[in-house]
């Protein structure tokens, strides 16, 4: 037992000030609950509600923000007892990671904490979709970022172009990454990832890895002196944080190219304003000045695309499009026209469909014309 205490203590003494601050937050959460137990009261944790009803759009900052409405998660409540227990399991798991100076994925944390309760057939967690929201709850309850809790998601996204970074002590030139590109890490905080130098004039983020590969192989970033990124679908937190830092620190414009459908618009929306689920991190993740370069609903006629690229909108698409028209950040007349045109067309299009005009048409004609004509939405 003595050796164990010494190990934990030495790890704590060697921790960064950031780690010590996070540790204090976790321990205060536990201490406050313990004091409630000692008073013979109902133990409870106050959590800010992460739902649309507690989210607002800040017109001045142009980001989504989480409100102050809270919900009490109580132990002596049959509907809340399981989540109450899970909250403290995750908090304690994060505490152990900080003490041991270890970092794990959110998937690994799920397995670390999953076990069968003694004397029963019930597990602490059944699936990862149970533990992931609890991790976000702990973030909110302790006012600490996931990275500060020593947790990260699997990395997702690729980059290439005019940028040299220092990643945890290793200098990496994104102009020398070949066809595969640089895998964007899930933790892109300044403590571990630094921008050494860049001559980039802008950033181009594309939704799909296949489109990114086309642009990379065609040398798009070389010809246009830019940084080329792909989110490989909905952007993970690491990509959003990297994009936010690049836009803020390099002070260059960001363009986004997504599919012409409501889901592509949503990907852009999350990059620009933030998301409802992570509204408490919008200041870190959102890029209000990001520009929507396409794929636009007007591109079908503008670039004379063939009928074969049309994909009929289904009921879900139409309902989603109507929902997005009511978002306050899409209230601008130009955005209303864009979404109305999508509904009027009755079909959606993938970015890949531009290749029907020629394998390199997207690189040599489509994007250059969009940039030249300043044909984008903000």
Whether residue 369 is preceded by a cis peptide bond, meaning omega within 30 degrees of 0, is no
Q: Are residues 210 and 101 part of one domain?
A: no
Q: Could you tell me if residue 50 is inside a domain?
A: no
**CATH number of the domain encompassing residue 124:** 1.10.10.10
Same domain, 260 and 140: no
Of the candidates 99, 126, 152, which is a domain's last residue? Answer: 152
Let me know whether 218 and 97 are in one domain. Answer: no
- Does 11 have pLDDT greater than 60? no
pLDDT tens per residue, range 131-149: 999 999 999 999 888 888 9
**Whether residue 4 has pLDDT greater than 80:** no
**Whole-Å CA distances, 317 to 207, 262, 358:** 18, 6, 28
Radius of gyration of the chain (CA): 23
Residue 275's alpha-carbon distances to 30, 229, 258, 310, 342, in angstroms, are 29, 20, 17, 29, 23
Query: Same domain, yes or no, for 87 and 201?
Result: no
Provide the pairing of β-strand 226-230 with 158-161: antiparallel
Confidence category of residue 329, pLDDT binned at 50, 70, 90? confident
Q: Which of 111, 266, 280, 366 is catalytic?
A: 111
> For position 59, what pLDDT does the model report?
87
| pLDDT attached to residue 229 | 98
**Same domain membership, residue 307 and residue 175:** yes
What pTM does this model have? 0.85
Residue 71 within any structural domain of the chain: no
Is 98 domain-assigned? yes
**Amino acid 5: pLDDT:** 41
257 and 189 in a single domain? The answer is yes
User: Which of these three, 102, 136, 152, is where a domain ends?
Assistant: 152
Per residue in 217-251, pLDDT tens? Answer: 999 999 999 999 999 999 999 999 999 999 999 99
Instruction: Flag whether 52 is in a domain.
Output: no
Q: In terms of domains, do 127 and 182 share one?
A: no
Q: Are residues 218 and 283 in the same domain?
A: yes
Q: In the block, which residue shows the tokens 């520009």? A: 291
| Counted domains in the chain | 2
Q: Are residues 185 and 305 in the same domain?
A: yes
pLDDT (mean) for 345-355: 96
Domain-embedded: residue 69: no
Is residue 68 assigned to a domain? no
Say which range, 32-46, 295-309, 338-352, has the weakest mean pLDDT. Answer: 32-46
Question: Do the domain assignments include residue 247?
Answer: yes
- 17-56 pLDDT, tens digit each: 889 999 999 999 999 999 999 998 999 998 998 888 898 9
99 with 214, same domain: the answer is no
Whether residue 62 is contained in a domain is answered as no
Indicate if the pLDDT at residue 6 is higher than 80: no
Domain that holds residue 315: 158-372
Q: Last residue of a domain, which of 110, 128, 152?
A: 152
Asked if the model's pLDDT at residue 1 lies above 50, the reply is no
Residue 284 to residues 28, 78, 158, 238, Cα–Cα distance (Å): 25, 36, 20, 11
Report the share of the chain in percent with pLDDT over 70.
Answer: 96
Q: Report the CATH number that the domain containing residue 257 is assigned in CATH.
A: 3.40.1360.10
Give the pLDDT score at 14. 54
Q: Are residues 322 and 179 in the same domain?
A: yes
Going by C-alpha positions, the residue among 354, 377, 371 that lies closest to residue 224 is 371
Cβ contact 212:180 at 8 Å: no
Residues 33, 174 within the same domain: no
- Annotated active-site residue 111? The verdict is yes
pLDDT at 285: 92
């Amino acid at each position: 037992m003595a050796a164990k205490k010494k190990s934990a203590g030495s790890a704590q003494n060697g921790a960064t000030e950031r780690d010590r601050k996070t540790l204090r937050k976790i321990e205060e959460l536990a201490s406050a609950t313990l004091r409630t137990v000692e008073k013979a009261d109902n133990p409870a944790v106050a959590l800010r509600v992460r739902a649309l009803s507690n989210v607002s759009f800040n017109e001045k900052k142009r980001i989504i923000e989480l409100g102050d409405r809270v919900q009490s998660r109580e132990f002596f409540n049959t509907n809340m007892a399981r989540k109450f227990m899970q909250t403290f399991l995750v908090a304690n798991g994060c505490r152990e990671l900080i003490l041991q100076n270890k970092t794990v994925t959110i998937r690994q944390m799920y397995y670390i904490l999953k076990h069968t309760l003694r004397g029963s057939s019930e597990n602490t967690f059944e699936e990862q979709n149970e533990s992931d929201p609890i991790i976000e709850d702990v973030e909110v309850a302790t006012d600490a970022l996931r990275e500060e809790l020593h947790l990260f998601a699997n990395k997702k996204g690729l980059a290439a172009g005019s940028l040299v970074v220092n990643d945890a002590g290793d200098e990496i030139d994104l102009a020398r990454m070949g066809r595969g590109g640089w895998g964007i890490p899930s933790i892109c905080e300044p403590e571990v990832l630094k921008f050494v130098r860049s001559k980039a004039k802008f950033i181009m983020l594309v939704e799909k890895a296949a489109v990114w590969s086309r642009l990379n192989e065609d040398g798009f970033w070389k010809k246009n002196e830019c940084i080329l990124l792909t989110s490989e679908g909905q952007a993970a937190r690491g990509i959003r944080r990297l994009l936010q830092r690049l836009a803020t620190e390099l002070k260059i414009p960001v363009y986004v190219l997504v599919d012409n459908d409501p889901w592509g618009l949503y990907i852009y929306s999350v990059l620009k304003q933030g998301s409802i689920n992570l509204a408490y991190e919008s200041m870190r993740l959102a890029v209000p000045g990001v520009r929507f370069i396409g794929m636009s609903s007007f591109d079908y006629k503008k670039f004379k695309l063939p009928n074969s690229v049309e994909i009929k909108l289904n009921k879900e698409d139409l309902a989603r499009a109507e929902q997005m028209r009511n978002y306050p950040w899409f209230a601008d007349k130009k955005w209303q026209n864009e979404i109305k045109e999508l509904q009027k067309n009755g079909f959606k299009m993938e970015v890949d469909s531009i290749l029907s005009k020629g394998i390199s048409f997207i690189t040599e004609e489509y994007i250059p014309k969009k940039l030249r004509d300043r044909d984008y939405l903000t």
